Amino acid sequence: MGIYQTFGLQPIINASGKMTALGASAVDPAVAKAMADAAMDYVDIQDLIRKAGAYIAKATDAEDGCPTPGAAAGIAIATAAVIAGTNLNLIEQLPFSEGFPNEIIIQKGHSIHFGASLTQMIRLGGGKPIEVGHANHVENAHVENAINERTAALFYVKSHHTVQKGMQKLETFIRLAKQYQLPLIVDAAAEEDLRFYVAQGADLVIYSGGKAIGGPTSGLICGRATYVEACRAQYKGIGRAMKVGKEAIVGLLTALQRYDVSAANATEQLRRMKWLVDQLSDIPGLKGEVVQDEAGRAIYRAQLKIDPHTAGLHASDLIRQLESGTPSIHTRNHYGNIGIISIDPRPLLAGQEEVIVQRIREIMQP
């Protein structure tokens, strides 16, 4: 019996991705062991946070790093850092920031909901979000014209949640940040490349520890030393309400040490998803293929297209039946409305693709 079942919860097979709603990542045993060891001992927390920064810096090629309890907290802390710096009076005054440069400029198509509102996290850190342009169209002038003496930072989001067309590119934000000597914050929560945005010149880059990194519920900010110092300083202010535990920090560092976006991993994903598609190839009305991630990441998912006339059921029926069984199987359903469901290999534990195949066969060929 799994640990969650001992507390009366449903067993889950997560084939949908690194979804917060399903617990984001199931960590490697080495990460779990490191967290257990950390939980059973004492450490100077200030030293741990500072040392964690050095390890994060190494993993990201940044000047320094700061652990957080998640990327959402990272947004609030990074915002607070660019507004209050290391000034204790200001730090303790946040999120009230009237009278100080507190405007955070973000493109309208980047003002997303990732399970909660991104701009709310900016406000939590004392920022006043300034959404520029239109939901599907932003020009350089929209961004540049919004810059004034109250601007605290520019904010760029890299995510499949954002509007993918019509937005200004990262280069625009890097150029304007340099030109106006403003910090650039990048939310790269679910991205796999931990070095790219720092290398491009972003001042603070935010990642989720529980997504691509495969760590526990945690997060990190990396970037320029002065701004990262200011991030750490927020733990005397609003950051205290977002305390990151010693177990989470040690789990995050262990996951970072083991992290590499290796080709071997992609090959293994491909193999498992090809197998799954093969096993379902004789089901009438189901057409499977392996496709790469729409955002270009090295993720290979099985995509199952359901033709309701031949199959006798809609994709939405299959989704519902997979979820209502035991174990409850959660697929990736962004295209469910057009009859496509996807199986994400990343969160699947060993052998779970076999359970999925068996269950789909039971449902579609009773």
Ligand X SMILES: *Cc1c(COP(=O)(O)O)cnc(C)c1O
Is 299 a binding residue for ligand X by CB under 6 A? The answer is no
Is 364 a binding residue for ligand X by CB under 6 A? The answer is no
One symbol per residue from 113 to 142: x for binding ligand X (CB under 6 A), - otherwise; what is it?
A: -x----------------------------
| CA 358 to chain centroid | 31
Give me the sheet containing 286-292, strands edge to edge: 286-292, 300-306, 340-343
Q: How far apart are CB 255 and ligand X at their closest, in Å?
A: 13
159, 200, 226, 316: which one contacts ligand X (CB under 6 A)? Answer: 159
Structure tokens at 1: 């019996």
Q: How far apart are CB 221 and ligand X at their closest, in Å?
A: 12
Whole-angstrom CA distances from 331 to 143, 300, 336 are 38, 14, 10
With contacts defined by CB under 6 A, how many residues of the chain interact with ligand X? 14
Q: Which helix (H) or strand (E) holds 161?
A: none
- With contacts defined by CB under 6 A, name the span among 40-48, 156-164, 241-249, 250-258 that binds ligand X: 156-164
161, 258, 297, 361: which one contacts ligand X (CB under 6 A)? Answer: 161
Using alpha carbons, select from 82, 111, 125 the residue that is nearest to residue 229.
82
Structure tokens at 17: 């991705």
Rounded distance, CA 90 to CA 339, Å? 52
Q: How far apart are CB 22 and ligand X at their closest, in Å?
A: 12
Note the maximum CA span of the chain: 68
Rounded distance, CA 64 to CA 174, Å? 19
Is 71 a binding residue for ligand X by CB under 6 A? The answer is yes
- With contacts defined by CB under 6 A, name the span among 25-33, 86-94, 154-162, 224-232 that binds ligand X: 154-162
Rounded distance, CA 97 to CA 30, Å? 43
Using alpha carbons, select from 275, 337, 327 the residue that is nearest to residue 300.
275
Is 189 a binding residue for ligand X by CB under 6 A? The answer is yes
14, 60, 172, 208: which one contacts ligand X (CB under 6 A)? Answer: 208
- The smaller minimum CB distance to ligand X, of residues 208 and 331, is found at 208
Rounded distance, CA 41 to CA 88, Å? 31
Is 157 a binding residue for ligand X by CB under 6 A? The answer is yes
Is 302 a binding residue for ligand X by CB under 6 A? The answer is no
- With contacts defined by CB under 6 A, name the span among 69-77, 79-87, 237-245, 264-272 that binds ligand X: 69-77
Rounded distance, CA 99 to CA 121, Å? 20
183, 219, 339, 345: which one contacts ligand X (CB under 6 A)? Answer: 219
Whole-angstrom CA distances from 239 to 85, 94, 199, 243, 263 are 13, 10, 27, 6, 37
Is 300 a binding residue for ligand X by CB under 6 A? The answer is no
Is 72 a binding residue for ligand X by CB under 6 A? The answer is yes
Is 70 a binding residue for ligand X by CB under 6 A? The answer is yes
Q: Which residues bind ligand X (CB under 6 A)?
A: 20, 70-72, 114, 157, 159, 161, 187, 189-190, 208, 210, 219
